[in-house]
């Protein structure tokens, strides 16, 4: 945890191993970091207001090594968080979860929790836009899958269905998100096509 400013510390640079980097998406950026940079760009360009939701914690113990410094030494999660991101875009509420997998053949549904599904269902029932962003890190491919398309797979798993969604189905049902320099995960370009009939 890196409170009070909430900023995540950047890992130290690794030694150069001489390996060639094929594209910028392999430079150690996680999906979360890419989405955070994208959201900052959207905000700077006045395109959308989308933020990562803070995880609700209860602080139990704080250590004060100096008068001006405080270190949280013990804390616990107050309750299960809903989804990773929410905000506003073109007058619509958007709410989404972001997941990354190293699996090359499928996306395990165990990566999503029931309370998140319930929350996303509520969002769409009230006219909001809800989806999941899935990155297959082995392929450097990132997909947007609407919650409406995810739900049948989610409920089917409890009736002797598969506990995962195959990579091929996500390729067919999902939408490949373009990787760009500033909007690294340009999910709004997909939202424009799906919800605002723009190409």
Annotated binding site: 82, 84, 97, 116
**Chain position carrying tokens 């899958």:** 145
Helix axes 147-156, 114-125, angle to 10 degrees: 140
Does an H or E element contain 120, and which?
Answer: helix 114-125
**b/e per residue, 174-187, with b = 16+ CB within 10 A?**
bbebebeeebbbbb
> Which residue ranges are tagged as binding site for Mg(2+)?
82, 84, 97, 116
Q: Cβ of 170: how many Cβ atoms within 10 Å?
A: 23
Q: Cβ of 146: how many Cβ atoms within 10 Å?
A: 21
Asked if 104 and 140 count as a contact pair (C-beta separation under 8 A), the reply is no
**Chain position carrying tokens 């390729």:** 171
Where do the DSSP E strands lie in the chain? 49-52, 57-66, 69-77, 85-89, 92-101, 106-108, 129-136, 141-146, 164-166, 175-176
Q: Report cis status (omega within 30 of 0) of the bond before 94.
A: no
């Amino acid at each position: 945890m890196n409170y009070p400013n909430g900023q995540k510390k950047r890992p130290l640079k690794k030694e150069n191993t001489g390996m060639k980097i094929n594209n910028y998406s392999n430079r150690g950026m996680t999906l979360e970091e890419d989405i955070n940079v994208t959201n900052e760009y959207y905000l700077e360009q006045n395109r959308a207001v989308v933020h990562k939701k803070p995880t609700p914690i209860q602080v139990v113990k704080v250590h004060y090594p100096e008068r001006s410094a405080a270190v949280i030494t013990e804390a616990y999660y107050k309750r299960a968080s809903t989804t990773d991101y929410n905000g506003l875009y073109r007058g619509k509420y958007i709410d989404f979860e972001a997941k990354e997998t190293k699996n090359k053949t499928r996306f395990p549904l165990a990566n999503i929790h029931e309370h998140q599904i319930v929350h996303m269902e509520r969002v769409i029932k009230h006219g909001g836009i809800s989806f999941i962003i899935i990155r297959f890190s082995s392929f450097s491919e990132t997909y947007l899958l609407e919650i409406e398309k995810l739900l049948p797979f989610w409920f089917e798993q409890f009736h002797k269905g598969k506990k995962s969604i195959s990579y091929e189905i996500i390729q067919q049902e999902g939408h490949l998100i373009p990787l760009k320099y500033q909007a690294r995960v340009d999910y709004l370009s997909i939202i424009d096509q799906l919800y605002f009939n723009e190409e």
